[in-house]
Amino acid sequence: MIADSGLASRRKAEEMIAQGRVTVNGRTVRELGTKVDPERDHVKVDGRHLKPVPPQVFVMLNKPKGYMSSLSDPAGRQTITDLLPGVGLRVFPVGRLDYDSEGLMLLTNQGELAQALLHPRYHVPKTYLIKVKGVLTDEEIASLERGVELEDGLTSPAVVKKIRKAEENSWLEITIHEGRKHQVKRMLEVVGHPVIKLTRVRFGPLNLRDLPLGEYRYLTDREANA
Ligand code: URA
């Protein structure tokens, strides 16, 4: 708890304990590894109360279509809150996904990080697997990659990968670094191939992989650090 509060490193915290500078509920403890409950026990270092720091929480959700990506909805539709039972601390979605879109959503209680991840300055790439009407020509793909003109301006460079084509539709992967409203749908609309289905599969270093639709999991330490 001392290290988690940011007061000292783990090693320094152990020294403080060994030196008798730490009390738990008014009694000096010298035993390393003494367990405390940060919510209930009163821990002091050098006579100063240590405030418990809430743990950092990072959740990855695979949002199905038919859910709002917000925590509540004035119109009473289902929201991602319905998919997050058991997440005790309050977490906030980092960005949005359309009601009819699916895929990776990150949620966290780390507000500053969430802001930064959304800021265009940091260029966090987002990759979408999309099914579109028709089959794109190489020239249409090149124009998506260069940037297309939307009502709110030219889009920044994107990367488009062909995945497979069917009779009337085709599947693509598109990676963008911005997050304007309905951006992918609007980009494909401009080149004449409306989006039929859209799934976010990657967000920065995070990969949706085989997380089942409608389920969530906590990030691993490695993912959270990345
Ligand atoms: N682009 C869209 O058009 N919709 C989404 O949900 C995400 C990206």
- In tens, the pLDDT along 103-113 reads 999 999 998 89
Measured between alpha carbons, how far is 105 from 91 in angstroms, rounded to an integer?
12
Mean pLDDT of the chain: 94
Asked if the model's pLDDT at residue 122 lies above 90, the reply is no
pTM of full prediction above 0.85: no
Higher-confidence residue of 55 and 128: namely: 128
* Partner residues linked to 92 by β-bridges: 108
CB 83 within 8 A of CB 216: yes
pLDDT value for 54:
79
If one residue of 131, 150, 182, 202 were mutated to test the ligand 1 pocket, choosing by the most ligand atoms within 8 A of its CB, it would be 182
> Token pair for residue 214?
């409608």
How many Å separate Cα 88 from the centre of its chain?
17
pLDDT value for 53:
80
Question: How far does residue 217's CA lie from ligand 1's centre (Å)?
Answer: 22
Amino acid residing at 22: V
Asked if the model's pLDDT at residue 3 lies above 90, the reply is no
Question: How far does residue 23's CA lie from ligand 1's centre (Å)?
Answer: 53
Measured between alpha carbons, how far is 76 from 196 in angstroms, rounded to an integer?
25
Pocket of ligand 1 (CB under 6 A): 97-98, 101, 182-185, 198
Tell me if residue 130 falls in helix, strand or coil.
strand
Which residue, among 126, 43, 78, has the nearest Cα to 34 in the 3D structure? 43
Tell me if residue 149 falls in helix, strand or coil.
strand
Average pLDDT score over residue span 42-70: 93
Amino acid residing at 100: D
Tell me if residue 163 falls in helix, strand or coil.
strand
Look at ligand 1, atom 7, and give the residue with the nearest C-alpha: 97
Higher-confidence residue of 189 and 113: namely: 189
Using only C-alpha atoms, what is the Rg of the chain? 23
Q: What is the DSSP code (8-state) at residue 220? A: P
pLDDT value for 166:
83
Question: How far does residue 195's CA lie from ligand 1's centre (Å)?
Answer: 10
User: What is the percent of the chain where pLDDT is above 90?
Assistant: 81
User: What is the percent of the chain where pLDDT is above 70?
Assistant: 100
Q: What are phi and psi of 11, to 5 degrees?
A: -65, -45
Which residue, among 135, 188, 182, has the nearest Cα to 162 in the 3D structure? 135
Measured between alpha carbons, how far is 25 from 37 in angstroms, rounded to an integer?
11
User: Which residue is it, tokens 């006579």?
Assistant: 47
> Token pair for residue 31?
């035993």
Could you report the per-residue pLDDT of 62-121, keeping only the tens digit for each? 999 999 999 999 999 999 999 999 898 889 999 999 999 999 999 999 988 998 898 878
How many Å separate Cα 74 from the centre of its chain?
23
Asked if the model's pLDDT at residue 157 lies above 90, the reply is yes
Is 4 annotated as catalytic?
no
pLDDT value for 125:
95
pLDDT band at 143 (very low <50, low <70, confident <90, very high): very high
